[in-house]
């Protein structure tokens, strides 16, 4: 569900299928750039998603997320 993002700016991405919608990433994001989808994924969770701008690549959401593969953060 992530769109192509310019590689020279930090970004985070959420695997909509692996996310369990716990919202811990939202709680720790200093820039509030993560939101929750209206739609359900195949496991019946409302997954988080990156709103698309202002991620600093700090990685806090990655460590707050309990799922090994749900969040990826890239800081060029």
Query: Do 76 and 11 touch, CB atoms closer than 8 A?
Result: no
- The minimum distance between CB 52 and another protein, in angstroms, equals 18
Provide the binding-site residues for another protein, judged by CB under 8 A. Answer: 15, 17-18, 20-24, 26-28, 43, 45, 57, 59-60, 62-76
- The minimum distance between CB 43 and another protein, in angstroms, equals 6
Query: Do 34 and 65 touch, CB atoms closer than 8 A?
Result: no
- The minimum distance between CB 46 and another protein, in angstroms, equals 10
């Amino acid at each position: 569900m992530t769109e192509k993002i310019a590689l020279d700016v930090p970004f985070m991405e959420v695997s909509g299928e692996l996310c369990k919608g716990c919202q811990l990433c939202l709680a720790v994001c200093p820039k509030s750039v993560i939101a929750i989808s209206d739609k359900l994924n195949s496991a019946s969770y409302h997954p988080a998603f990156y709103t698309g701008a202002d991620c600093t690549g700090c990685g806090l959401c990655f460590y707050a997320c309990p799922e090994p593969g749900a969040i990826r953060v890239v800081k060029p």
